[in-house]
Structure 1
């Protein structure tokens, strides 16, 4: 999600930057190679910040920050002057930086850690993040912010994103009546998830890696900086194995019929949150090895999670493909506490209308794309990807170790528990055609002016901040690279899919 912010230049015009709002990190950084900033303070501390897509580095500096109706006289930030290839790609997509909305300590914040080490704990207030400084300006205002990522059904129009500070957006006030989901990790917006159900059948997770999570539940991080959710590999198989015609291509993931879907529901605090079918798959392209022509395929949007065996920060990560299904309120709670922060989620997907919306929107998109791959071509694609993965594994110089020792976090070890659930949705292509016959005139109308666009990530082109949230903006470039949690990027790369003790469908 993007939000336009402004740094005030005392002797020049204001310079506006577009940054990603990231609930998975804490620091603010901006890459402004062509801008002259009037700094309020500067340091000789040159630091790096690491994300799943790469690393940026620069000096810790201070400048006046304006965001909506709020002004921070001297906000600390990293003035980035170096970025590796992954972050250069991020910056090339029209984004100038990241504004972290998570918690402040030496684990989550590179700025906090550097200032603490350089000048001691008495100076760490200088490292205050943007939300901390904004909430400090008005002690009577509640310390929360709200985010709502909408979905653009017709794909070539504008999309609306909502962001508010210390107030609920009109129409979503009922979020205050939803369960309070208290933070389970001192550094991140991690909450307890009750269950994952596919067509009414629950997936059984192992015991959570977080000691604070009650038995039978798992720890989920809500991260606006990640486009695609990441779950243990067996849970991914449980979801996509329920879709008729879906094919597993080994460790890569699943290839799914483009009109195929399933009924996925996540439950938090006893409240069920249905997931829209549009958020379960995305469109991809491949070259037919027999004809050399481009073909269209659809892949799993929920991906397998890779973490080290000793990682204890969370069990799964829910990015934008989940967050588009809720209005989310992030409340910091009382200052100085470690467990008083909470999230409230208001479901926004209507399951009774979602499948029809999915078929119409998918038909609109596919109409302007190369033909969908036939089953024989899919078999060749899977064989190619499987052989490619096997080749990569065979040339690895790392020590894989005993695969039974790689298990960690929320994976069910019982071979008999998680059989593939039967599908309640009629999701074959023939049924989709029947629905299209019913709504054909509507689809034809939608096809006018259709453009080629990737569904990898909903990214809001212009998001108005605080009271200006009603503005609309153009859809951004679809090549945006997601940002992951720093801990996940630094953890050992141990794929849950390497487990041999789990019965896959």
Structure 2
């Protein structure tokens, strides 16, 4: 499980009592080969708390090995139920946001320090041991779809998803007074489409800035924002918050919207990613919206900004967390040692027209997306070859009209033949007709053309 957490380190389960192991169901981290730092940590997430010692240990990720990586070995995990497949959190936030680096400063030498995994990975020596390009990338799979898998990339783009890296657009990051903390940028537009009509949402920032900001975080299972932005989005559908403060949408109504970030094209979001049916209630009338508000959390840490673009957003984009600015071809030709300039790269993966068709199939027709009925909703992979429902109906109408014309012509032909049977000329034509029919029969039997 990979998360772009709000801190930039690795959280691993350490030895625990049977009670806490039962609570987390996680596989245990063995600290016997680690080196203690003498420093302990406590991390408060939006949901849950973890604490324990900070240690140095060897970390292998993909084919890369970091000999002395500082990591947080969690001995206490509260309010955070973990599945057996959960090993920890690979935090990919930027170095100034690292709690460990704040407690154990990073150094330029090879001695163990508090440097983040990104700093160590892209600065491996000799340089031939490090990734050739200094970036992480991420795709997140959508339940029921098989075209886009969950992938973590290190210095390479998956060619089946990104055949042309120059198509990735990069955004400058929004910085705080203490430095660049998050993969965060400004929001240029939010648009909700209702019956094909675009309804732009008025933008307003908690900080009073001209444009609100949004950060990407794969550890958040929803899109979290301010009441002002949420009211604007749902208000386009005539929906207000319920008595419990949550937003609910009729399950058959698509929340069809897009977000435009600084330096990016308009990014459509799949309606199936924005609402969810109640667990075990496939025929429920109302679904829970996955854009919700938590102003207390957003205002508690002013650095977060106005929106957290969690999993519902990230399923719709190929995300690149780059530590350098790419060239015009989309490649990085400088090393991280020459200085960092973090950039957020995004490539839209959702075809808005096809996404609506898939929503209708699942939520309205109550049909699963099988291999025979679903094609990739990625604009990159579909290549625009999918026909919309309107085009298919038009083709059907044209075909029906052509059939009617053919039947009318056939009826005229029979009437003409009956008239000709009453004249000598008609009998000659009848003979030609019989000869042509015989020739046609000969072609069917022999496969070659014969004359009468």
Q: Does 1:274 align with 2:275?
A: no
The answer on whether the counterparts of 1:146 and 1:327 sit within 8 Å (CA) in structure 2 is yes
The answer on whether the counterparts of 1:327 and 1:345 sit within 8 Å (CA) in structure 2 is yes
The answer on whether the counterparts of 2:122 and 2:336 sit within 8 Å (CA) in structure 1 is no
The answer on whether the counterparts of 2:204 and 2:229 sit within 8 Å (CA) in structure 1 is no
Give the alignment's TM-score, normalised by structure 2.
Answer: 0.65
* Matching residue within 160, 171, 175 for 1:181: 171
Q: Distance in 2 between matches of 1:331 and 1:270?
A: 15
* Matching residue within 255, 258, 261 for 1:265: 258
Q: CA deviation at 1:31?
A: 0.4
* Matching residue within 225, 236, 254 for 2:247: 254
Give the alignment's TM-score, normalised by structure 1.
Answer: 0.59
Q: Does 1:76 align with 2:70?
A: yes
Q: Give the 3-state SS of the residue equivalent to 1:98 in structure 2.
A: strand
The answer on whether the counterparts of 1:23 and 1:189 sit within 8 Å (CA) in structure 2 is no
Q: Give the 3-state SS of the residue equivalent to 1:21 in structure 2.
A: coil
Q: Distance in 1 between matches of 2:190 and 2:301?
A: 24
Q: CA deviation at 1:160?
A: 2.3
Q: Give the 3-state SS of the residue equivalent to 2:312 in structure 1.
A: helix
Equivalent in the alignment of 1:416: none
Distance 1:207 1:124, change over 3 A: farther
Q: CA deviation at 1:222?
A: 0.7
Equivalent in the alignment of 1:299: 288
* Matching residue within 75, 88, 94 for 1:97: 88
Deviation readout 1:394-416 (Å, 9 max, x if unpaired): xxxxxxxxxxxxxxxxxxxxxxx
Equivalent in the alignment of 1:129: 116
Unmatched segments (≥5 aa) in structure 2 = 16-27, 325-334, 369-388, 394-452
Equivalent in the alignment of 2:313: 322
Q: Distance in 1 between matches of 2:218 and 2:273?
A: 14
The answer on whether the counterparts of 1:48 and 1:110 sit within 8 Å (CA) in structure 2 is no
Equivalent in the alignment of 1:209: 207
The answer on whether the counterparts of 1:31 and 1:97 sit within 8 Å (CA) in structure 2 is yes
Q: CA deviation at 1:275?
A: 0.8
Equivalent in the alignment of 1:341: 342
Q: CA deviation at 1:254?
A: 1.8
Distance 1:191 1:210, change over 3 A: farther
Q: CA deviation at 1:339?
A: 7.8
Q: Give the 3-state SS of the residue equivalent to 1:127 in structure 2.
A: coil
Q: Does 1:357 align with 2:344?
A: no
Q: Distance in 2 between matches of 1:23 and 1:75?
A: 17
Q: Distance in 2 between matches of 1:28 and 1:59?
A: 12
Q: Distance in 2 between matches of 1:145 and 1:312?
A: 23
Give the total of aligned pairs.
Answer: 332
Q: Distance in 2 between matches of 1:153 and 1:310?
A: 35
Distance 1:317 1:235, change over 3 A: same
Deviation readout 1:26-55 (Å, 9 max, x if unpaired): 121100324534424212222212211121
Q: Does 1:109 align with 2:98?
A: yes
Q: CA deviation at 1:188?
A: 0.8
Q: Give the 3-state SS of the residue equivalent to 2:120 in structure 1.
A: helix
Q: CA deviation at 1:198?
A: 1.3
- More relative contact order, 1 or 2 (CA 8 Å, 6+ apart): 1
CA-atom RMSD in angstroms? 3.4
Unmatched segments (≥5 aa) in structure 1 = 3-19, 288-293, 368-433, 439-505
Q: Distance in 2 between matches of 1:58 and 1:114?
A: 14
Q: CA deviation at 1:168?
A: 0.8
Equivalent in the alignment of 1:31: 13
Q: Distance in 1 between matches of 2:229 and 2:155?
A: 36
The answer on whether the counterparts of 1:60 and 1:79 sit within 8 Å (CA) in structure 2 is yes
Q: Give the 3-state SS of the residue equivalent to 1:209 in structure 2.
A: coil
The answer on whether the counterparts of 2:260 and 2:267 sit within 8 Å (CA) in structure 1 is yes
Equivalent in the alignment of 1:284: 278
Q: Which of 1 and 2 has greater Rg? A: 2
Distance 1:351 1:256, change over 3 A: same
The answer on whether the counterparts of 1:184 and 1:190 sit within 8 Å (CA) in structure 2 is yes
Equivalent in the alignment of 1:45: 39
Q: Distance in 2 between matches of 1:60 and 1:197?
A: 45
Q: CA deviation at 1:328?
A: 1.0
Distance 1:183 1:317, change over 3 A: same
The answer on whether the counterparts of 2:189 and 2:260 sit within 8 Å (CA) in structure 1 is yes
Q: Does 1:62 align with 2:56?
A: yes
